[in-house]
Chains A and B, each alone.
Chain A
Amino acid sequence: MNNKVLAIHNLKVRYLTEDGSVEAVNGIDISVDKRKTLGLVGETGAGKTTTALSILRLIPDPPGEILSGNIELDGIDLMSITEKEMEKIRGDLVSMIFQDPMTALNPVINIGEQISEAISIHQHVTPDEAKKKAKEMLELVGIPGARWAEYPHQFSGGMKQRVIIAIALSCSPKLLIADEPTTALDVTIQAQVLELMKELKEKMDMSMLMITHDLGVVAEVCDDVAIMYAGRIIEQGSLKEIFKSTKHPYTEGLFNSVPNIDDRKSELKPIRGLMSDPYNLPVGCAFCDRCDYALEKCKTEKPEKIYFSETHFAECHLYKENIDFQLNSGKN
C-alpha cells in the first residue's frame, strides 16, 4: 500500500533560547514517493535544514525540541525508536549531503577511510572489502580510485562534494537528503554535481529530498516542489503546477526575484521586507507584511490549505472565496 519513502505529519520543532522560543517548523506535512525527488524551497531561516535534521533526529537538544508530529521513513516510525536503532538507520536507510563540502570532511583522515567508515558501520564486511567498496564508490562519483589515500585538502570543492556524495551513497540509502548541495560550488561545478546526483539517483533507485533556495536547481532535478516559509509549507505541487500555475504570492515573489534572461531590460522585482521575526510570528499569515495582495483578514486569521488539484495546494486567503483568483505580479 505504501508508496511513500518518507512521510512527515504535523511536525513542529522549536528552539528554546534565552531570548525566547524560536518556532522553526510549525506543523508541516510532506511526503516523498519512491524514486521521486521533492524540492524543499525557501529562503534562509525558513526551517528547511531543521526539517532535514529532524528526519535524522539530529536536532541539537537542547536548545532544539521536537514538539509534535511523526516522521515515517520506509514504514518505520522514527519518533518511537531508540537512539541505538536510530544510529543504525542513519547512513543506512537515510543519509545526508551537507551544504559546505569544505567543512563536512574530517581534515585529518584520508577520504578512503571516511568512505569505508560508513560502510563498515552498517555492513558486516572486512576492512579490505570496505576499502574495495570505497574505491568503487569513488569511481562511481568520477574520482580515480587511486586517489583513495588522499586527504580532503588535496581536493577541490567540487571533488569534495563528490566524495561526500560517495559517503552518503555508500550504503545505498532509500532516501537521500541533500541540504543545499550546490550552494558552496561555482556554477559550472553545480551543473556537474546535479547531473551526477540525478544519474546516481536513477541508478541506485532512491528518493531524494532536495533542500535549496535556487529555483534553477529545482527545475533541474525535482519532481515535486514544496515551498516553505516561516516554518510552514505554503504551497506544494508537482514541478509543473508550481512553475506554470503559481498560486501563492510568496512563490510568485520567488519567481520574480530570478533574473529573466529573455528580457534583459526588465527590472528585478525582489520581495520587499524581511522574513518575519521567528521569535514572534504573526497571528495570521506569516507573509502578510510583505504581500502585495494582503487582505484585512490575513493579519488575524491563519489561512487554510486550499487544493487546486489532488497534489497542488496553497495556504492563502486569496482563494478562499474565489478559487480562480489570478496573481498579476503585483500590478494593480
Chain B
Amino acid sequence: MSENTEFVKTEQLLKTKKRSQIVDVWRRLRRSNTAVIGLILIFIFLCMAIFAPVIANYEDDALKMNVRERLQSPGIGHWFGTDELGRDIFARIVYGTRISLFVGIISVSIALTLGGTLGAIAGYYGGRIDNIIMRVLDVLLAIPTILLAITIVAALGASILNLMIAVGVSNIPGFARVVRAAVLSVKDQEFIEAAKAIGARDHTIILKHVLPNSMAPIIVFATLKVATAIMATASLSFIGLGIQPPTPEWGSMLAGGRAYIRDNMYIVLYPGLAIVLTVLSLNLIGDGLRDALDPKLK
C-alpha cells in the first residue's frame, strides 16, 4: 500500500517536471506587458483574417462600386467610412488583413527555407563552401531589399505569387546570415561531436542536433521579418507593383485615397493605422520573444 502511494508520488513528480520548453517560454513571454499587447493585437488581426466572410461580404462591401455612397464619413452604416468609389473601408481593411498576413508569412517562409538551408550548409561545412555561398549572398545583400523586390516584380509581372517571391527572395541573405551565425555557435559543442561518434550522418546532425539548438535567434528574426515583409508588400502595392486593384490591399488603399487626403483623411487613416498596428504588434512580439528565449534571463 505505502509502496503504491510512493509510486504514485514519483509519477506525479515526474509529470510536474515534464514541463516542456514551450510552456516555459510562454510563461516568460506573458510576463512582458508589451509582448502581451502585441499578442492581443495580432490575435485580433488573425481573427479578422480568418473570419472575414462573417464580418463583411467580399463582393458587395469590399469590391462593388457604389457611387451614391462615395466619400462618406465614418458612421453607423460604414464604421470607417467609404472611399472614393463608395466601397466600405472597414470591409476592405478586413479583407486586406488576409492578404497582408498571408503574403508576409509565406514570403518569410520562402526566405526562411531557402536562406536557412544555405546558411546552415555554409555554417556547418565552413571553408570553401561557406565562402562561395556567403559571397554570393553578400552581392544580393548589397542591393537594397525594396529595390531588389521592385526589380523582381518588374521582371516577373505583378501578381500575388510574384510579390511573395520578390519579398521572399530579397530576404534570403538576411536569413542565411542569421542561421549561419546560429549554426556556428552550436556546431563546435561536444554533443555534435558525440553525435558524430555514434555514426550520425551530416544531414541528421544538422536537422536534429544543430538547428533545434539554434532556433531562438531564428524565431525572433523571422517574427520581425514578417513585419518588414508586410511593409514591403504595402510599399510595392502603393507604387502599383504589388496587389492590383480592385483587390483590397492596405498599400493600394493608401495609394487610391491619397488624392482625397485633404478633405477625407479617414480614407488613408485607417489602412495606415492597420499597417502600423500589425507591424508594431509583430515587433513587440519579436522583442518579447527575444527576451523570453534567452536562457540567461531565466
Contacts and interface: CB of A to CB of B under 8 A. Distances in A.
Given A109-B212, A149-B18, A150-B18, A104 B191 contact: yes
Contacts of B136: none
Interface in B1-43: 10-11, 14, 17-18, 21
B94 to A, nearest CB: 39
A12 B188 CA distance: 24
Nearest to B127: A62
Given A109-B208, A109-B212, A104 B190 contact: yes
A167 B213 CA distance: 20
Nearest to B194: A104
Contacts of B212: 106, 108-109
Interface string A140-171: 00000011011100100000000010011000
Interface string B188-200: 0111011111111
B68 interface: no
Contacts of B201: 87
Contacts of B14: 146-147, 150
Interface in A113-154: 117-118, 121-122, 146-147, 149-151, 154
B191 A95 contact: no
B21 A58 contact: no
A105 B193 CA distance: 10
A100 B190 contact: yes
Interface residues of B, number: 25
A88 B190 contact: no
Contact of B213 (A108, A146, A154): A108
Chain A: number of interface residues, binned into ranges = 20 to 34
Contact of A108 (B11, B21, B194): B21
Given A106-B209, A108-B212, A154-B17, A90 B196 contact: yes
B17 A164 contact: no
Contacts of B10: 146
Contacts of A189: none
A309 interface: no
The interface centre, meaning the residue of B10, B198, B204, B213 with most chain A CB atoms within 10 A of its CB, is B198
Contact of A91 (B21, B191, B198): B198
Contacts of B190: 98-100, 103-104
A168 B199 CA distance: 11
Contacts of A105: 191, 194
A92 interface: yes
A58 B196 contact: yes
Contacts of B194: 96, 98, 104-105, 164, 167
Contacts of A106: 191, 195, 208-209, 212-213
A121 B199 contact: yes
Interface string B235-274: 0000000000000000000000000000000000000000
A84 to B, nearest CB: 9
A103 B197 contact: no
A122 B209 contact: no
A96 B208 contact: no
A150 B199 CA distance: 23
B3 to A, nearest CB: 15
Nearest to B192: A106
Interface of B: 10-11, 14, 17-18, 21, 127, 189-191, 193-201, 204, 208-209, 212-213, 215
Given A117-B198, A151-B21, 13 more contacts: A58-B197, A87-B201, A88-B199, A89-B199, A90-B198, A98-B190, A98-B197, A104-B191, A106-B191, A106-B209, A109-B208, A122-B199, A150-B14
